[in-house]
Amino acid sequence: MTILAATTHGYWNLESFWFLLIAILWIGYFVLEGFDFGVGMLVPILGRDERERGTLIRTIGPVWDGNEVWLLVAGGATFAAFPAWYATLFSGFYLALFLILVGLIVRGVAIEYRSKHDGAAWRRRWDVALAVSSAVPALLWGVAFANIVHGVPIDAKGEYTGNLLTLLHPYALAGGLASLSLFGLHGAVFLTLRTCGELEERAHRAALRLAPVATLVLFGFLAWTYANAVSAHDKGIVPGVVPIAAIAAAGAVGLFVRRRLDGFAFAATALSITLLTATIFLNLYPRVLVSSTDKAFSLTIFTTSSSHYTLTVMSIVALVFTPLVLLYQAWTYWVFRARVGGEDLQGRGPIDVLARSPLGNQSGPTA
């Protein structure tokens, strides 16, 4: 693979621009949805009764569905900019992506339906469903992206020739454990910022326990990733500082949490997720899906892209609307920035929380 030779391609700038934009969309999704997954997994662990578990869920109640929009945009951008990549990826990874979709659906239902009935058993079942449906996508996203960069069986026609078990090899499972542990840590740190009292203390203790585990797992996965890149002579496109910085950021979380620098700790987990995702995409470029059958069969941004006209129109739309969407979402987080106490909102769902925000009849955010 010679990236320099790729610059002779007529539409190199637009194709690279959309590859970069899709990488940014996935980074945004993993950073924002990552703490949603983490909170969901921790709800039955940190919450000792129904009121506390409800409080934990309310920390993500106003934002979790907005965070999922990043996934929809990333998928839509892939379909529009690189339709052949989308076709091979979604047909080959169909069962894995279906399980992720089921998890996302169950998670949304659990968040909304747990408050539809006052029975303790009813709510406990939905809380368990929330934890499981948060853990499954957190694990499988890591498995999926590890396979994308490691290589899957693709023939000369660009068709996937494996099955679900093909995707479950040791390296892919290591990627899944890395994303699972890192999202769990991200969620615990998020809760130190959004809760108070005993729940905040438990979140601190959980973050302190998860930090060394996530750092160790992340180190193992990224060291394996870099070794694979060296073996495949791809190390030039993966600057060593990127994976090293990802590990260092994760390792700094425990120090920040111990010193009660929760904002810095959250920034560190977000940075670690960002650099982990960046390592994957840097390793790929200019490929979008590596073939383990024959490197010549690997899909690239040039062999899978849409026409120049399509990319041009999409680029104009993206440059106009992307900043607006980012500003709106930043404003949403600012509105719901207060810590959640819980007693006055016991039994309420996310819609009730929204009604109590500055956007509704009350003068301040949820407390």
pTM of the model: 0.86
By CB neighbour count within 10 A (0-12 exposed, 13-18 middle, 19+ buried), where does 215 fall?
buried
Q: Distance between CA atoms of 329 and 350, rounded to whole angstroms?
A: 17
Alpha helices (H) in 232-348, listed in sequence order: 241-258, 262-284, 308-335
DSSP state, residue 289: E
- CA dihedral 275→86→16→146, nearest 10 degrees, is 30
Q: What pLDDT shows up at residue 4?
A: 37
By CB neighbour count within 10 A (0-12 exposed, 13-18 middle, 19+ buried), where does 167 fall?
buried
Q: What pLDDT shows up at residue 9?
A: 47
DSSP H or E stretch at residue 299: strand 299-300
Q: How many CB atoms lie within 10 A of CB 100?
A: 21
Looking up tokens 């200019």 gives 286
Strand-pairing partners, residue 291, are 152
Question: How far, CA to CA in Å, does 343 sit from each of 56, 58, 112, 198?
Answer: 12, 12, 19, 13
Q: Distance between CA atoms of 139 and 184, rounded to whole angstroms?
A: 11
Q: In this structure, are residues 332 and 66 in contact, taking their beta carbons and an 8 Å threshold?
A: yes
Q: How many CB atoms lie within 10 A of CB 153?
A: 16
The values of phi and psi at residue 157, to 5°, are -85, 0
Strand-pairing partners, residue 287, are 300
Using left for φ > 0, alpha for ψ between -120 and 50, and beta otherwise, residue 159 falls in beta
pLDDT in tens, the chain (367 residues): 334 334 444 445 799 999 999 999 999 999 999 999 999 999 999 998 888 999 999 999 888 888 998 999 999 999 999 999 999 998 889 999 999 999 999 999 999 888 888 888 888 999 999 999 999 999 999 999 999 999 999 988 888 888 888 899 999 999 999 999 999 999 999 999 999 999 999 999 999 999 999 999 999 999 999 888 877 766 555 567 899 999 999 999 999 999 999 999 999 999 999 999 999 999 888 899 999 888 889 999 999 999 999 999 999 988 888 888 888 888 888 888 788 864 444 444 333 433 343 333 333 333 3
Q: Which residues contact 20 (CB under 8 A, 6 or more apart)?
A: none
Q: What pLDDT shows up at residue 238?
A: 56
In this structure, is the dihedral angle defined by the CA atoms of residues 200, 100, 25 and 144, taken in order, positive or negative? positive
What is the rounded radius of gyration, in angstroms, for the C-alpha atoms of the chain? 21
Would you say how long the chain is, in residues? 367
Q: What pLDDT shows up at residue 230?
A: 78
Q: In this structure, are residues 148 and 289 in contact, taking their beta carbons and an 8 Å threshold?
A: yes
Alpha helices (H) in the chain, listed in sequence order: 3-6, 12-46, 50-58, 64-81, 83-92, 94-113, 120-150, 170-194, 197-231, 241-258, 262-284, 308-335, 350-355
For the record, the structure tokens of 157 come out as: 């026609």
Looking up tokens 């041009």 gives 312
Q: Distance between CA atoms of 130 and 46, rounded to whole angstroms?
A: 13
Q: Distance between CA atoms of 103 and 270, rounded to whole angstroms?
A: 23
The values of phi and psi at residue 11, to 5°, are -115, 35
Q: What pLDDT shows up at residue 152?
A: 92
